[in-house]
Amino acid sequence: MFSLNELQEAADLVHRQVPATPQHLWPLLSERAGARVWVKHENHAPTGAFKVRGGVTFIDWLRREHPGVRGIVTATRGNHGQSQARAAVGAGMRAVIVVPHGNSVEKNAAMRAFGAELIEFGDDFDAARPEAARIAEAEGLFMVPPFHRELVRGVATYGLELFMALPDLHTVYVPIGGGSGICGVIAARDALGLATRIVGVVTQGAPCVKLSFERGEPVATNTAQTMADGLAVRVPVPEALAIYRKGADRVVAVSDAEIEAAMRIFFQDTHQVAEGAGAAPLAALLREREAMRGRDVAVVLSGGNVDLPVYRRVLAG
């Protein structure tokens, strides 16, 4: 998908705005899982998620390839929107972000703080997307899709950091929403010529990615009911599916109860705050602990953006 040189150039660009995030070996997590567990701390990025990297590379590409564009519009549940608002407004552009009704209050506030004009529309992400496209056409804005080569190239820089530090990892667990995150990890692994197995993680209440992975073609669902809003998609992105179906070992679906338990474990064992999508990879590892016993594994903690009332309820068990 990308040469190593292309990813290193992206890393140089990203690191001018976004410092490399650490990967830590946590002993209490390792004891609990029976494996050596490394956490890639994308929750330490400026927006609390890996999406910020794709915003840097995408807006840089947009300014070079479409210099007349004065603004962007996109749909999101929050982390992608923060990324695009941060990068676009920083480049002097207008940023219109469409979110579904009932979206995270605190993610909405963060997007506005980065300069976004926030519009609420529809009941979920997949309903907000066509409204964003309508606004793009009506107002002459550039529609930022959930998946794009330049988004993936930027996101892949976290995979590059992880694999350059830990080239002997057996397995990495990565959450899947739109797919840029797992495709970026696959791109970095392949560019470095490594044999690490990559496992995608979704929720049982939003299974379209797992169904599509197993069937080999996009499968939409009628609902996407999960507390992990970053994974709440009903329609998989075909371009992303083509990449992770070939490059991932498998896709695991975990329950909301398992995700909430993993959120508590992250706080208890590492004192890190994880939103639902950020904790899902740990939930999947703990489900597969017997198969991973004694191995070097990593989980991607991307998303520390959880509303206080939700986190209070989760911590209370």
The pLDDT of residue 4 is 98
Summarised one tens digit per residue, pLDDT across range 135-153 is 999 999 999 998 999 999 9
> Cβ atoms within 10 A of the Cβ of 127, count?
15
132 and 85 housed in the same domain:
yes
156 and 185 housed in the same domain:
yes
Summary mean pLDDT of the chain: 96
Instruction: Say yes or no to pLDDT of 81 above 90.
Output: yes
Last residue of a domain, one of 143, 163, 182: 143
**Distance between CA atoms of 140 and 133, rounded to whole angstroms?**
10
Average pLDDT over every residue of 60-68:
96
Sequence length of the chain is 317
286 and 202 housed in the same domain:
yes
11 and 91 housed in the same domain:
no
DSSP structure string for the chain: ---HHHHHHHHHHHTTTSPPPPEEE-HHHHHHHTSEEEEEEGGGSTTSSTHHHHHHHHHHHHHHH-TT--EEEEE-SSHHHHHHHHHHHHTT-EEEEEE-TT--HHHHHHHHHTT-EEEE-SSSHHHHHHHHHHHHHHHTPEEPPS--HHHHHHHHHHHHHHHHH-TT-SEEEEE-SSSHHHHHHHHHHHHHT---EEEEEEETTB-HHHHHHHHTS----S----S-GGG--SS--HHHHHHHHHH-SEEEEE-HHHHHHHHHHHHHHH-----HHHHHHHHHHHHTHHHHTTSEEEEEE------HHHHHHHHH-
Summarised one tens digit per residue, pLDDT across range 165-214 is 999 999 999 999 999 999 999 999 999 999 999 999 999 999 999 999 99
The pLDDT of residue 202 is 98
127 and 260 housed in the same domain:
no
Last residue of a domain, one of 143, 162, 191: 143
91 and 226 housed in the same domain:
no
314: its two tokens: 């989760």
DSSP structure string for 269-301: HH-----HHHHHHHHHHHHTHHHHTTSEEEEEE
Instruction: Say yes or no to pLDDT of 48 above 90.
Output: yes
258: its two tokens: 């398992």
Last residue of a domain, one of 108, 143, 178: 143
DSSP structure string for 92-141: T-EEEEEE-TT--HHHHHHHHHTT-EEEE-SSSHHHHHHHHHHHHHHHTP
- Count: domains in the chain: 2
Summarised one tens digit per residue, pLDDT across range 2-19 is 999 999 999 999 999 999
44 and 68 housed in the same domain:
no
Summarised one tens digit per residue, pLDDT across range 66-77 is 999 999 999 999
The pLDDT of residue 125 is 87
Total-model pTM: 0.95
Predicted confidence band at 316 (pLDDT cuts at 50, 70, 90)?
very high
Contact 248, 150 (CB under 8 A): no
122 and 154 housed in the same domain:
no
**Distance between CA atoms of 285 and 277, rounded to whole angstroms?**
14
**Distance between CA atoms of 80 and 57, rounded to whole angstroms?**
13
Spacing of C-alpha 212 from chain mean position: 18
Instruction: Say yes or no to pLDDT of 56 above 90.
Output: yes
Instruction: Say yes or no to pLDDT of 29 above 90.
Output: yes
Instruction: Say yes or no to pLDDT of 228 above 90.
Output: yes
213 and 280 housed in the same domain:
yes
Percent of the chain with pLDDT over 90: 97
The pLDDT of residue 180 is 96
The pLDDT of residue 192 is 98
Predicted confidence band at 106 (pLDDT cuts at 50, 70, 90)?
very high
Please name which of 293, 42, 278, 30 lies closest in space to residue 159, comparing C-alpha atoms. Answer: 42
249 and 122 housed in the same domain:
no
**Distance between CA atoms of 53 and 47, rounded to whole angstroms?**
10
Summarised one tens digit per residue, pLDDT across range 113-134 is 999 999 999 998 889 999 999 9
Instruction: Say yes or no to pLDDT of 260 above 90.
Output: yes
The pLDDT of residue 297 is 98
The pLDDT of residue 272 is 97
**Distance between CA atoms of 221 and 224, rounded to whole angstroms?**
7
| Residues sharing a CB contact under 8 Å with residue 30, sequence separation 6 or more, in sequence order | 36, 37
172 and 31 housed in the same domain:
yes
Q: What is the Cα gyration radius of the chain? A: 18
Predicted confidence band at 223 (pLDDT cuts at 50, 70, 90)?
confident
Ramachandran angles phi, psi of 233, nearest 5°: -120, 145
Domain of residue 110 covers: 51-143
Query: CATH number of the domain that 274 lies in?
Result: 3.40.50.1100
216 and 311 housed in the same domain:
yes
